[in-house]
Structure 1
């Protein structure tokens, strides 16, 4: 090959290589090392870098959550840490009061027990006076105080309906309850007039002591001596809606 042709070929190759290098620099991105250095450089605005994580457990306990709901659940109130409060216990249901039962035509079996056919109802708060009980008056003579107590109680009842605090008006055997005629409590009437004693712990004990002091009923003399037996006082007016 001639020297002139060889020089021309070499010069052409050099020009082509120069053009390729220029094009590569124009279309290629920034140097990767430059990008990494820019990312590692501090913010130009002067912002501080985030602090390194702490290993202090006390600091982590006092840290507040950064969610949106944290503003409604502060860690402290008036400078005092929140305390867990036990849930209040549910209220216990109150026992239902006894229902009143209206019982017609009671018969006094004795001074303290009512009879309704084969069923018996003992009045609460009193010790019933047996109808065969005998008592002694001041001169030592005996008199049938139990029978007179029963008679006076029957005269007081006069077969009128009584209202008693029973759970069920259809009991069997013997039940115990407080009963009234109108507003007059039957147990109180017996104790106040001395025809029955108040039971231990009964609210009628004071009335019973008064009846003993005044020698009423079974605590006194035979009322048949010297004067006819006075009828018992009438109870309060009965319910006008009660046909009996």
Structure 2
């Protein structure tokens, strides 16, 4: 046999032996991987196309703020946090000033009772006074007298169709107005309270005057003046 043929045969056998040993090593490595895997799970074969995962790059707060600012268009003001937003302007409610009443002359009032006057379809109550109804009866049984009509007559005799001055918002009004009125310098409400022809409202400045009149038993607090 020729030496070249022998060398070629030996080389081929060496190659075949190397291949067999490599295959056996691979089989042993796969078996070892399967043995180390948890029971019930199959070890995943490595993917040749999968690239090793690189750790996520970290970024500092200063870098993040610079990137955020670069996104805002030039000339736009930076957004303010909610807690620093400008407060809403407070609504200021201004109360209307009270209308100042003026002294106005009213001609020839008609007396309806001791405390109420009329001017055509308009009526006026004297301030601080509880009008005495014209049909009121005063006095004990057997000595009763028409104190309401007497009080109305007394006020009518005082006025005698003369003009009076009243503190009003306007000289024209609708319905019933309440006002302080005077005949010259004489306050009509005070005159009624002093003479006992009308009671004073609770809390009225005329209440102390009416109380003194009641104690003195004048007007509606006393007896029939026609018997005196």
TM-score between the two structures when normalised by the length of structure 2: 0.56
Aligned match of 2:109: 106
1:158 is aligned to 2:160: yes
1:176 match: 178
Higher helix share: 2
Aligned to 2:36: none
- CA drift of 1:100 comes to 1.4
* CA distance in 1: counterparts of 2:110 and 2:211, whole angstroms: 27
Cα distance per residue 1:66-85 (max 9 Å; x no partner) = xxxxxxxxxxxxxxxxxxxx
For residue 188 of structure 1, give the secondary structure of its aligned residue in structure 2. Answer: helix
For 2:100 and 2:115, locate their aligned partners in 1 and report how far apart those are by CA, in whole Å: 24
- Give the superposition deviation at 1:92: 8.1
Structure 2: stretches of 5+ with no match in the other structure: 1-91
Cα displacement (A) at 1:97? 2.1
Native 8 Å contact 2:193 2:200 kept in 1: yes
Corresponding residue for residue 121 of structure 1: 124
Which residue of 1 is the match for residue 216 of structure 2?
214
Q: Deviations over 1:24-79 (max 9, x none)?
A: xxxxxxxxxxxxxxxxxxxxxxxxxxxxxxxxxxxxxxxxxxxxxxxxxxxxxxxx
Measured against aligned partners, the alpha-carbon deviations of 1:96-118 in whole angstroms (never above 9, x if no partner) come to 52111110001110000011111
**Residues 186-238 of structure 1 deviation map (CA, whole Å, 9 limit, x = unaligned):** 00000010000000110011000011011110000000014xxxxxxxxxxxx
State the alpha-carbon separation in 1 of the partners of residues 95 and 213 from structure 2: 42
Unaligned runs of 5+ in 1: 1-88, 227-244
Q: What is the aligned partner in structure 2 of residue 18 from structure 1?
A: none
Aligned-residue CA RMSD (Å): 1.9
Once the two structures are TM-superposed, the CA of residue 95 in structure 1 deviates from its matched residue by 3.7
Distance in 1 separating the partners of 2:173 and 2:167? 13
Residue 159 of structure 1 aligns to a residue whose secondary structure is: coil
- What SS does the aligned partner of 2:209 have? helix
- The CA distance in 2 between the partners of 1:92 and 1:117, in whole Å, is 35
- Give me the whole-angstrom Cα distance separating, in 1, the residues matched to 2:172 and 2:109: 14
Q: Check the 8 A contact 2:99/2:169 in 1, yes or no.
A: no
CA distance in 1, matches of 2:112, 2:223: 23
1:140 shift after superposition: 4.5
